[in-house]
Structure 1
């Protein structure tokens, strides 16, 4: 596959600017940027296509720094539980789905998207069994940290569930992995990648719990070429990765679309599931501070082993105690890395991100989805929840993502939530934690706000200036074009 396509983008504008510029893309890179008209026709390769942008805005290609791509692709095969405001409503949706589409023998009915933290009633295994009958039913929570499983499904999957029917964290993640073992067809991946390109996305960081280093090059070879991919590894595959000589940044396909990413370690749970590890107990549970899934000692061992082989870490930490412990490990080891989520932070820990050279990889749509849950489960602490403004002010490097399918794989949703802390008709939630537009855009483009000569030609073209667009316009931002190494992956021009 040849990525080196030559193009001249004429009459473009930079974010935040009004002056027109021309941009020559050649050999997969930004070869030249000059005032409009200053790149003459005889100054470009003969095969270069001129494209008049008519004043549209051009910037570095956008990345989603945290996705679970197979789960995102598979989501369309699961019925939607997000409207459920109670266990009873979730059961009613399940019953309706069973009537709508009878489940073939040997198959499992799966739903996705319930959020039970604020439900007035509790899930029970008996309640789900009464609706499911002899059909195996598995319902996944919206944060992917919990599942509600019928007795028939539990028996088929070889797991034990208590009277709630709920399975949480690592045992549940194993079930989720088993459910995803039968991969969607390649065309489904290609469609999802193309949809991301239509929203200006040039690359993703895939944290799927899978053999990403093996599966993604095969997908690219089969034609899934709309995105760059950083393919992560989980601890259970770390030894194999080290034995194979894989290291962070290593190209995994001939065109360099797929590179080996980071070691993903999940040290605690989630807010909605009530398993994020916190210093203070959860309301009504004085002995419950959440769950420690990987101890500091275990984390230290994993990071040391990975670092010896050139594999950099990305550590999931949501609760404030989990973040403190992870920061402590990074400080002791003197390693660079990424902390994924960083949803609740002690004030004293905020400046440590910059001081230790750590990236805060955050998902701003979660702040909108979870604001009511946070107000309840983290009451009195939400001023330091999803504290993007504080991290930015303290000099931390902030990267934006979606955690798809937990939130849509659409960077404009993240940018809008990061800059406004509001959605729909609701007032801003802790507006002091808004990110400036420049920081949000840079956080979605790997730290860059503008293209410069010599850059790889990963480019996003939009109709409006994102630095001056309002919240709702950002969410619906018209994307006119996306290029990866100068090759169009989406074009509406």
Structure 2
């Protein structure tokens, strides 16, 4: 039969029958009952009843920031300003930062802090050392005066720089300490060890140029759909690129979607809502959040992209942002993806299916933000992170992490979506849970069983998700991952 790989005695999700799969030329060429066909040639691997599934995808990542996070000190779990200062002091005492570098932390969530951050207090702790503290949602950063001067920022008395102003500073901060190729390779291989075969890259950078270079340098454990932001749309069009076009020789990187961010986030209280945030009623135009890209501008961008064969992915978190984005998709008569869809007006759920809109959501965010949502979206959380309502209305769901906002690990999303809890807490709005088979499909591009003719992007599991506890689901043991028939992780 020639070269190739024979995966024998595999089980599929939801069944006990065993099958043999033949992989040749990067594709599944045959699926037969175990032992029914005798073949020779190539490698034979006995899966001994392990579960074989289509490879997992993370439908929303910021890969550079996920990779860079490893070199930033951790602010996760800080309950207030005092906790943050304790960690900052510890980092400065260790003196591990080089002269002239910007000391950077990541992961605070000030949306539930008892007292707000201030520039003056941070300056008192840090002195002349430039310090940047990035929020877990990536939509704001707390800068001291030294860092603000270094980056050319103008924070208000809180020291917080939000949304567009912060996004403009991000590339300069990244350039001060860029991740190495080895770091990118480690991140990609870590994802492969969790069964991941592909990611949708939404980093605000030159994804179309950088990812082919990374693949050529050996960062080749994943497929990458590379997005463009509005300021790079003209360049993609001039290059003749359309969504789905292959943009590097090995076929691992393809042109993705136009990414447009129309509002902010929950933690930063900039997600655009119909109702004001508690305590912000007197904040004028921003009492209900912020509009980063107004509807008229969004309409022009989506029309331009659609004319040139580039699909759209629109970030919308607040319920007003979601309503306005859905309105524009309906006016234009085009389908697309809404990223996050965290708070949705009741009348808008059914519009997802009717208009062919995909809800690209990140279920672990519901676990991270449940307390912040209870505080700032009080009385509305029955339709927050409402995956059950989206599913009941017939919407197509796709799961991601928004890494580094949540770990690049689809099993976290699958567990959060099906249990609505982690640790020992009671489920949060358990009516919004979704069935396991749907959660798996949302992480496997809609199909949970391999099919002959598919690319041989496969995940091998040591446990059956259908019988796993919530904790076991989060830590699902992955025995192997194949990308186009090539092992990117092999633990069996």
Using the size of structure 2 for normalisation, the TM-score is 0.97
Which residues of structure 2 form unaligned runs of 5+? none
Q: State which drifts further: 467-476 or 308-317.
A: 467-476
Q: CA offset at residue 103 of structure 1?
A: 2.9
Aligned residue number for residue 428 of structure 1: 427
Q: CA offset at residue 473 of structure 1?
A: 0.9
Aligned residue number for residue 377 of structure 2: 378
Question: In 2, distance between residues paired with 1:475 and 1:413?
Answer: 5
Residue of structure 2 aligned with 1:213, choices 208, 214, 226: 208
Q: CA offset at residue 6 of structure 1?
A: 1.5
Question: In 2, distance between residues paired with 1:5 and 1:229?
Answer: 27
Q: State which drifts further: 240-249 or 190-199.
A: 240-249
Deviations along 1:220-262, whole A, 9 cap, x unmatched?
0000110000011001111111111111111011111000111
Question: In 2, distance between residues paired with 1:267 and 1:467?
Answer: 38
Aligned residue number for residue 340 of structure 1: 339
**2:239 aligned with 1:239:** no
Question: In 1, distance between residues paired with 2:280 and 2:116?
Answer: 16
Question: In 1, distance between residues paired with 2:169 and 2:76?
Answer: 20
- TM alignment of 1:353-364, pairs within 5 A: 353-364=352-363
Deviations along 1:333-365, whole A, 9 cap, x unmatched?
011110000000011100111110011000000
Aligned residue number for residue 477 of structure 1: 476
Q: CA offset at residue 41 of structure 1?
A: 2.0
Report SS of the residue matched to 2:235: helix
CA contact (8 A) 1:88 1:121 kept: no
CA contact (8 A) 1:103 1:135 kept: no
Deviations along 1:342-392, whole A, 9 cap, x unmatched?
000011100111110011000000000000000010001101000111111
**2:254 aligned with 1:278:** no
Deviations along 1:457-489, whole A, 9 cap, x unmatched?
100000111133221111110000100111110
Q: CA offset at residue 395 of structure 1?
A: 1.1
Report SS of the residue matched to 2:7: strand
Question: In 2, distance between residues paired with 1:351 and 1:256?
Answer: 36
CA contact (8 A) 1:340 1:361 kept: yes
Report SS of the residue matched to 2:455: coil
Question: In 1, distance between residues paired with 2:276 and 2:439?
Answer: 32
Question: In 2, distance between residues paired with 1:209 and 1:237?
Answer: 10
How many matched pairs?
A: 486
Aligned residue number for residue 155 of structure 1: 149
User: Are the structure 2 counterparts of residues 131 and 481 from structure 1 closer, same or farther at C-alpha, using a change threshold of 3 Å?
Assistant: same
Aligned residue number for residue 388 of structure 2: 389
Q: CA offset at residue 26 of structure 1?
A: 1.2
CA contact (8 A) 1:202 1:228 kept: yes
**2:322 aligned with 1:323:** yes
Which residues of structure 1 form unaligned runs of 5+? none
Report SS of the residue matched to 1:324: helix
The alignment's C-alpha RMSD in Å is: 1.1
Structure 1 consecutive aligned stretches of length 4 or more whose deviation exceeds 6 Å? none
Residue of structure 1 aligned with 2:14, choices 16, 20, 23: 16
- TM alignment of 1:164-243, pairs within 5 A: 164-181=158-175, 182-243=177-238
Aligned residue number for residue 50 of structure 2: 56
Aligned residue number for residue 139 of structure 2: 145
Question: In 2, distance between residues paired with 1:180 and 1:334?
Answer: 38
Deviations along 1:81-109, whole A, 9 cap, x unmatched?
11311012111211111111243222100
Question: In 2, distance between residues paired with 1:183 and 1:446?
Answer: 32
Aligned residue number for residue 403 of structure 2: 404
Q: CA offset at residue 5 of structure 1?
A: 7.1
Report SS of the residue matched to 2:244: coil
Question: In 1, distance between residues paired with 2:474 and 2:366?
Answer: 15
